[in-house]
Amino acid sequence: MAPHRNVELKARDDDPEATLAAALAHGAADQGVLTQVDTYFVAREGRLKLREQDGAGTLIAYARADEAVARTSAYHLVPAPDPAALKAALGDALGTVVVVEKFRRLLLWENVRIHLDAVEGLGTWLELEAVALADSDLTDEHRKVAELRAVLEIADEDVVATGYAAMLLEAGAATPRLVDLARRAMGRAYAPYSHFQVGVALRDEAGGLHAGANVENSSYPQGTCAEAAAISALITAGGHAIREVVVMADTELIVPCGGCRQRLSELAAPETPVHLAGPEGIRRTVTLGELLPLAFDLEEAKR
């Protein structure tokens, strides 16, 4: 089956009442308010989420955003007749990354869906989704989105490229899950020589969560730090960048070793948060830039 195609626009909307009135005046048909809860699970490959809409469940598995373009076949929609049980099972077995809860007022105007969304923790948003007709070259869909954009007075500065899940993650929604992952990794560390167990958890740019533990060796220099293991897990799973770090050990205040600060800086930014944690949770949060000022960067060095 050919994949569905949309022309989409998402923007902040501080006045949903005015937007609703303008959309109705332009001839949009009000389809009422939907309750949607999207639960994202930790998945080794791609993304996995359960959508609950007014009690009905659908399990949605899809490729990472950067691969989805080329691999549209890697998209599965599975009806979930018992969403509550499925959510509990997947949450226990895989872990939950983030939950996006929203009320969505759906309006239809020609083949454009207008979403007036009130998202838990994020406020009110407007989405336009022109569903492409088969064989369309998308000109008409772009024209309709542009027309509605003008009618609904959507300003350039209100338009965003990020999804709700990513916004919640940037605001720290996955931090407790990262702490859990670091704790589990720490418990599995192989440290028979130092007896010092370290667990590290990382969040990548697409909301993927990855963990690693230190693995020692009787030939001491062959041992590896937990950061290195977590970074390998992130790269192996298809991640590209580090957006958040938890480092955990049962000591007063664990800090990554110098070499691992350099390792992290390869994929993270100076402003990336690094949570320094003990078994009970975060004790202090610093940025990578604070841990490694004047980091070595080959491109910079060659200038």
Which part of the chain contacts ligand THU (CB under 6 A), choosing from 17-25, 61-69, 219-227, 283-291? 219-227
Distance CA 146, CA 152 (A): 10
Beta partners for 159? 11
Q: Is 17 a residue of the active site?
A: no
Cβ closest to ligand THU, residue 80 vs residue 292: 292
- Among 160, 54, 142, 63, residue whose Cα is nearest residue 104: 54
The answer to whether residues 50 and 44 touch, using CB atoms and an 8 Å cutoff, is no
> Interface residues for ligand THU in 169-208 (CB under 6 A)?
191, 194, 196, 198
Number of H helices, E strands in the chain: 10, 14
Distance CA 271, CA 77 (A): 37
List, as one string, the DSSP characters of 93-144. Answer: HH-EEEEEEEEEEEEEETTEEEEEEEETTTEEEEEEEEEPPTT--SHHHHHH
The reply on whether position 226 binds ligand THU by CB under 6 A is: yes
The reply on whether position 22 binds ligand THU by CB under 6 A is: no
The reply on whether position 159 binds ligand THU by CB under 6 A is: no
The reply on whether position 225 binds ligand THU by CB under 6 A is: yes
The reply on whether position 250 binds ligand THU by CB under 6 A is: no
| Site map 84..113 versus ligand THU, x via CB under 6 A | ------------------------------
Size of the site for ligand THU (CB under 6 A): 13
Distance CA 234, CA 212 (A): 9
Identity of the amino acid at 244 = E
List 257, 284, 286, 296, residue binding ligand THU (CB under 6 A)? 257
The reply on whether position 117 binds ligand THU by CB under 6 A is: no
Residue 48 DSSP one-character state: E
Cβ closest to ligand THU, residue 80 vs residue 201: 201
Cβ closest to ligand THU, residue 146 vs residue 255: 255
Looking at 227, 252, 280, 290, which residue is catalytic? 227
Q: Please state the closest distance from residue 274 (CB atom) to ligand THU, in A.
A: 11
Q: How many CB atoms lie within 10 A of CB 11?
A: 18
Cβ closest to ligand THU, residue 99 vs residue 226: 226
CA 240-242-247 angle, to 5 degrees, is 140
The reply on whether position 211 binds ligand THU by CB under 6 A is: no
Q: Residues in the site for ligand THU, rule: CB under 6 A?
A: 191, 194, 196, 198, 214, 216, 223, 225-227, 256-257, 260
State the catalytic residues: 227
